[in-house]
Amino acid sequence: MTLRSRISWRDLGAEALAGLLQRPGRSALTALGTVLGVSAFVAVLGITGTAGNQIDERFTALAATQVVVEDVGPPDMPASEGSFGPDSSARVQALNGVVHAGVWWPVPAKKPSISAAYGVVTGTEDLRFLAVEDGALSATHPKLQQGRLYDRFHSERGERVAVLGAVAASRLGVTRLDGQPAVFVDERPYTVIGIVSEVDRLPEALFSVMIPLSTAESDYGMPEQAAAKMLIETRLGAATVVAEQVAVALRPEAPERFRVISPVSPRSLHDSVLGDVNLLFVLLATISLVIGAFGIANTTLVGILERTSEIGLRRSLGARRWHIGAQFIMESTILGLLGGLVGTSLGVITVVIVSLAQQWTAVIAPWIIFPAPLVGAAAGLVAGIYPAWRAAATEPVEALRRLG
């Protein structure tokens, strides 16, 4: 006798699905655990990914477009001679990707006493006196409260004009520019032509009286050794390349006289931020997924006790133990998969809503979305093992006895 009992995978799947649809309410409640687990998983990974990318963007916007060049000169450099030549900014401007560039240094005044009225110095000791090239000033993204910035015209003529930072202006009591007020530094008058209320770079500018380079050179001479710096703003993504080239562009014969500070690579920053935050939340999501799996296991087990007569019937119709077990495993796997699908959708919706509320761009990697339902299915599969084994072990005689 070569009789066999067998069932195709398709029929087995259909039976499992029918078993689930027979009790739709219970199936939905059972799947809820996986729904929550998977949606937590997707939402956590999605939100941290999104947030990570926003942090990234913020750094990118400022730091990633900034290159600072410091004068480290040879040790025996004479005090009066800086490494930056007079045409430094023109050389750097010629590099591809440079938006603004300019040199700045603290003016080496003998005893810098700054005041708004001749001879009266009070409460202005901590203000700074800077020589700032017009290109460097532009690179700080200054927001003018009043007046204007100085430009090449003022620089070339060595005009005694000054731009004040907002804090410096209020300390000095300069509130209006229509009377052409002057500030006195070491008893030299400088006409205030503008007040800057905000800068994105060079924050000390707000505490400073800033004058053109040539004015500073003619009034006070060259900067002290290694005090001069160059501020360069580049186009997005050009900073790394500019940083490589700038020292050679400035002094082809002695590029070692400069130290170039370029931004952190955005990639490494991104990764470190993401790595720290994720681990904890992924752990939490995993815990909720495990709880979801236990939910499936529990309900499936109860369901099997309830369906003993069905098991008995199927066994009498020629179902092998293996068929019974496979059907129940499939049921819980399908349940997990459905829960995973719904959970993934909910997770994505959560990420989108959070992103909308924060005005972020939602960023979810495909490697989170696509395997997420499978994670649910895997949870269902594992959860179904024990109940399915119990179902398969049910003796048909026992099961049929309960049939009545």
CA distance 224 to 213: 14
Identity of the residue, 28 or 354, whose beta carbon is nearer to other proteins in the bound complex:
28
User: How many residues bind other proteins, per CB under 8 A?
Assistant: 31
Identity of the residue, 113 or 309, whose beta carbon is nearer to other proteins in the bound complex:
309
Identity of the residue, 271 or 398, whose beta carbon is nearer to other proteins in the bound complex:
398
Identity of the residue, 62 or 393, whose beta carbon is nearer to other proteins in the bound complex:
393
**Contact between 3 and other proteins per CB under 8 A:** yes
Tokens representing residue 386 in the block = 């024990």
- Contact pick of 279, 349, 353, 403 for other proteins (by CB under 8 A): 403
Cβ atoms of residues 128 and 113 within 8 Å: no
Q: Give me the amino acid identity at 68.
A: V
**Contact between 9 and other proteins per CB under 8 A:** no
Q: Measuring CA to CA, how many Å separate 158 from each of 58, 91, 214, 374?
A: 38, 21, 5, 72
Least Å distance, CB 318 to other proteins, is 2
Interface pattern 322-341 for other proteins (x via CB under 8 A): -x------------------
Least Å distance, CB 305 to other proteins, is 17
Residues with Cβ < 8 Å from 193, sequence gap 6 or more?
147, 148, 149, 150, 161, 162, 163, 177
Identity of the residue, 100 or 307, whose beta carbon is nearer to other proteins in the bound complex:
307
Q: Which residues pair with 231 in a beta bridge?
A: 68, 102
Please give the residues from 304 up to 323 whose contact with other proteins meets the rule CB under 8 A.
309-310, 312-321, 323
**Contact between 18 and other proteins per CB under 8 A:** yes
Strands 66-71, 188-198: parallel, antiparallel or unpaired by DSSP? unpaired
Please give the residues from 371 up to 400 whose contact with other proteins meets the rule CB under 8 A.
396-397, 400
Identity of the residue, 260 or 324, whose beta carbon is nearer to other proteins in the bound complex:
324
Least Å distance, CB 271 to other proteins, is 52
Identity of the residue, 236 or 397, whose beta carbon is nearer to other proteins in the bound complex:
397
Least Å distance, CB 317 to other proteins, is 5
**H/E run at residue 70:** strand 66-71
Cβ atoms of residues 364 and 340 within 8 Å: no
Q: What is the CA radius of gyration of the chain?
A: 36
Interface pattern 230-269 for other proteins (x via CB under 8 A): ----------------------------------------
CA distance 56 to 82: 36
Identity of the residue, 15 or 233, whose beta carbon is nearer to other proteins in the bound complex:
15
CA distance 164 to 144: 10
CA distance 98 to 239: 8
Q: Give me the amino acid identity at 223.
A: P
Q: Which residues pair with 129 in a beta bridge?
A: 209
Q: Which residues contact other proteins (rule: CB under 8 A)? A: 1, 3-8, 10-11, 15, 18, 22, 309-310, 312-321, 323, 396-397, 400-401, 403-404
